[in-house]
A and B are shown apart, each in its own frame.
Chain A
Amino acid sequence: MVRFPRLAAVVPVLTALVLVGCASEDGGVQSQKLATIKGRGTVVCGVDGKLTGFSFVAPDGSYSGLDVDVCKAVAAALFGDPAKVDYRDLNSSERFAALASGEVDLLSRNTTLTLSRDASGGNGLSFAPTTFYDGQGVMVPAASGIKGLKDLAGKPICVESGTTTELNLADRMREINAAYTPLKFQTADQTYSAYLQGRCVAVTSDRSQLAAKRTGFPTPAAHTLLPEVLSKEPLTPATVNADPGWADAVRWTIYALMQAEELGITQANVAAKVVEAKANPNLADLRRFLGVEGDFGNQLGLPPDFVVKAITAVGNYGEVFERNVGNGSKLKLERGLNRQWKEGGLIYSPPFR
């Protein structure tokens, strides 16, 4: 790197100062990103912004949704305040560039975990635990008489460009040997407008997204989802590969929400649980989890009680799910694969130990 001489002298000193600062605060976690975020005082979170249930902007400018709650939980874990988040609306084509360039710290935008997105030779992302196990679906007008993928042969299908959806559609249609016309649009708005205007006989995306978008249609009941599930779509928050310290902090904040549900800790009773843990030295597991004893927070570069702060802010995973996409929402999605592992689902937190 070519630098001006004076700058060259200053940079190592500054770097040393930043690193020293980190080391004294965080007990040895050397994460440039964590230091930057703490210095800035907010987490910059990349979200969709237009997807009911996952990330949606209310008329007053406030964000809500499952993806948004992940951002809030991380901000709460870091700063004790779920409002310390700057949201950036990203479309599916922009999202990886925004993350790679450091414009956003955390991408929580219904993004499917795949090999090529994870690999250093591909997009080079570092994925957190999956927050929503989804599958790709196809929506058609109820009156169209289309019952399955085979009926779509030779027909135009609307799809958002730059998504895994686009590839899965190509693969499935090739398997059943059906030609079709993929009409690609850059944004979800354009995709669904073209579908609603009747340019395509079907629109394909994650089943949760289709259900979410349908709630905004003029007559939601006039559209049905085909029974076929075209793919596995584990929707997962992501950070950049280059900063494992920051990735760990995000990963374990999300695990904390899942573990809390398993332990029966909710937004309502978390304060009482802390009191209980402090009073009873025999509850070692609970004491460690809530940061009453041990140094889990310190190991991650987070405050000792980051778990308590995250749960106080958004509740446990089950509460986040029900409030945003489950029975407490317009979407009314089943828990399905997103149940706790003890109930036959895939939500499973490794031990806090």
Chain B
Amino acid sequence: MGPSLRPAATTPWWRNRRVVPFAVQAAAGLVVLVVVAFLLGNLVRNLTAAGLLLSWSWLDNPAGFDLAESSIPFSASQPYWLALLAGLVNTLKVVVVGLVGATLLGTAVGSAAFSSNGLLKRLARSYVELVRNIPLLLQLVFWYFVVFLALPNGVNAIQLPGLVLAKSGLYLGWFGEGWQWQLPQLTDGVWQAPLRLSVEFGALLTGLVVYTAAFIAEVVRGGIAAVPQGQWEAARSLGFSPLVTLRRIVMPQALRVIVPGLNSQYISLAKNSSLAVACGYTDLYSVAETTLNQTGRAVEVVVLLLGSYLVIDLLISALMNGLNAAVQLKER
């Protein structure tokens, strides 16, 4: 309060700076409450009229359908909630691996924009422009139907060191029994490996990583560009190599700009994972859709879906906010 204001006792309430903001906020809050109450009331009234009041008992009924892949043991005789949980785990699996992959690829591409190698620089720019201007759904369909389903099978499968790409799945070398390193093996025309990923997972993961990395690359490029040119020059004059300069001097400063931007890209990746239906991956959305069709419990299933994606995204946000606090300039 400035000294120029008259004493509170003589100010009329509609000009009182203590009352007016409070009243405006209260009015705004009231409007929001009324709208929400109206929508909820309307829903309950109409559901009651249709005889479809919210009920959750169906979650314990046997699902009756199988899942193509599940990280937790599941069979058709187990309840709906377990099927939905298996879907959630599959979603988390692709989101977590996707976040790591997109960050690595995005950082590499974003840093490449500052390379002294002209070819690398141009490649990085073309990649970003090509990928971020094509809808993700189309890219997923492309990766699944054009790339992954065109993979050969059996002996003709693409064999890389420790990795076999076949139409029947992606086979990775991994530690088997007794922590023995095992490579994929072909027995009777069928590949066997300690770690097998489905091509659906592969296609979705590739699509998400390639797409999100393009956006992350731009965030990283912006962050690095925000570090004053003098920092590079000072490092060079001290004899640091470009790579060391980037890692030890530029990146720690750039992170302050990068991390908030990364947050929204990470959240996008988590939400975009629900496009898994385009390539047949058994994610939460796909399981929920089957559940909805078989139980007719549209509102409940949608509420569960909304809640799950909200929690996933809030978790990512919370983690990123923590990271943000850690990389910000400490003023002591």
Question: Is A184 an interface residue, CB under 8 A from the partner?
Answer: yes
Chain A 183-206: CB-based contact to B (< 8 A → 1; otherwise 0): 111100010011001110000000
Question: Is A312 an interface residue, CB under 8 A from the partner?
Answer: no
B270 contacts across to A, CB distance below 8 A: none
Please, how many angstroms separate the alpha-carbon atoms of A181 and B38 in the complex?
A: 45
Question: Is A215 an interface residue, CB under 8 A from the partner?
Answer: no
Asked if A167 and B167 make an inter-chain contact with CB atoms under 8 angstroms apart, the answer reads no
Asked if B290 and A162 make an inter-chain contact with CB atoms under 8 angstroms apart, the answer reads yes
Please, how many angstroms separate the alpha-carbon atoms of A299 and B193 in the complex?
A: 69
Residues facing A in B189-234 (CB within 8 A) are: 199-200
Residues facing A in B270-289 (CB within 8 A) are: 277-278, 280, 282, 286, 289
B280 contacts across to A, CB distance below 8 A: 183-185, 190, 194, 199
Asked if A93 and B45 make an inter-chain contact with CB atoms under 8 angstroms apart, the answer reads no
A194 and B65 contact, Cβ closer than 8 Å, known pairs A116-B296, A120-B51: no
Asked if B296 and A124 make an inter-chain contact with CB atoms under 8 angstroms apart, the answer reads yes
Asked if B65 and A122 make an inter-chain contact with CB atoms under 8 angstroms apart, the answer reads no
A93 and B68 contact, Cβ closer than 8 Å, known pairs A184-B280, A194-B149: no
Asked if A93 and B289 make an inter-chain contact with CB atoms under 8 angstroms apart, the answer reads yes
Asked if A181 and B68 make an inter-chain contact with CB atoms under 8 angstroms apart, the answer reads yes
Sort chain A's interface into a size bin: 35 or more
Question: Is B64 an interface residue, CB under 8 A from the partner?
Answer: yes
Asked if A161 and B293 make an inter-chain contact with CB atoms under 8 angstroms apart, the answer reads yes
A162 and B68 contact, Cβ closer than 8 Å, known pairs A170-B76, A190-B280, A197-B150: no
**Least CB separation from B297: chain A residue:** A122
Question: Is B11 an interface residue, CB under 8 A from the partner?
Answer: no
Please, how many angstroms separate the alpha-carbon atoms of A180 and B293 in the complex?
A: 22
Question: Is A20 an interface residue, CB under 8 A from the partner?
Answer: no
Report the minimum CB–CB distance from B23 to chain A (whole Å). Answer: 24
Sort chain B's interface into a size bin: 35 or more
**Highest count of chain A CB atoms <10 Å: which of B153, B278, B294, B298:** B294
A170 and B66 contact, Cβ closer than 8 Å, known pairs A161-B286, A194-B280: yes
A121 and B65 contact, Cβ closer than 8 Å, known pairs A116-B296, A174-B77: no
Chain B 144-172: CB-based contact to A (< 8 A → 1; otherwise 0): 01000110010000000000000110000
Question: Within the complex, which residue of A1, A120, A170, A181 is in contact with B64, where a contact is CB–CB below 8 Å?
Answer: A170
Asked if B290 and A184 make an inter-chain contact with CB atoms under 8 angstroms apart, the answer reads yes
Question: Is B50 an interface residue, CB under 8 A from the partner?
Answer: yes
Report the minimum CB–CB distance from A244 to chain B (whole Å). Answer: 15
Asked if B38 and A2 make an inter-chain contact with CB atoms under 8 angstroms apart, the answer reads yes
Asked if A123 and B296 make an inter-chain contact with CB atoms under 8 angstroms apart, the answer reads yes
Question: Is B67 an interface residue, CB under 8 A from the partner?
Answer: yes
Question: Is A245 an interface residue, CB under 8 A from the partner?
Answer: no
A185 contacts across to B, CB distance below 8 A: 277, 280
Asked if B296 and A182 make an inter-chain contact with CB atoms under 8 angstroms apart, the answer reads no
Please, how many angstroms separate the alpha-carbon atoms of A124 and B145 in the complex?
A: 37
Question: Within the complex, which residue of B38, B64, B68 is in contact with A171, where a contact is CB–CB below 8 Å?
Answer: B64
Asked if B50 and A124 make an inter-chain contact with CB atoms under 8 angstroms apart, the answer reads yes
Asked if A162 and B42 make an inter-chain contact with CB atoms under 8 angstroms apart, the answer reads no
Please, how many angstroms separate the alpha-carbon atoms of A167 and B293 in the complex?
A: 11
B149 contacts across to A, CB distance below 8 A: 194, 197-199
Report the minimum CB–CB distance from B45 to chain A (whole Å). Answer: 7
Asked if A198 and B167 make an inter-chain contact with CB atoms under 8 angstroms apart, the answer reads yes
Please, how many angstroms separate the alpha-carbon atoms of A173 and B75 in the complex?
A: 12
A1 contacts across to B, CB distance below 8 A: 42, 45
Please, how many angstroms separate the alpha-carbon atoms of A183 and B38 in the complex?
A: 42
Please, how many angstroms separate the alpha-carbon atoms of A120 and B166 in the complex?
A: 47
A166 and B150 contact, Cβ closer than 8 Å, known pairs A161-B290, A190-B280: no
Asked if A122 and B296 make an inter-chain contact with CB atoms under 8 angstroms apart, the answer reads yes
Chain B 77-121: CB-based contact to A (< 8 A → 1; otherwise 0): 100000000000000000000000000000000000000000000
Question: Is A17 an interface residue, CB under 8 A from the partner?
Answer: no
Asked if B68 and A184 make an inter-chain contact with CB atoms under 8 angstroms apart, the answer reads yes
| Closest 9 pairs (CB-CB, A-B) | A162-B293, A197-B149, A170-B76, A123-B296, A186-B277, A122-B296, A181-B68, A182-B66, A170-B65
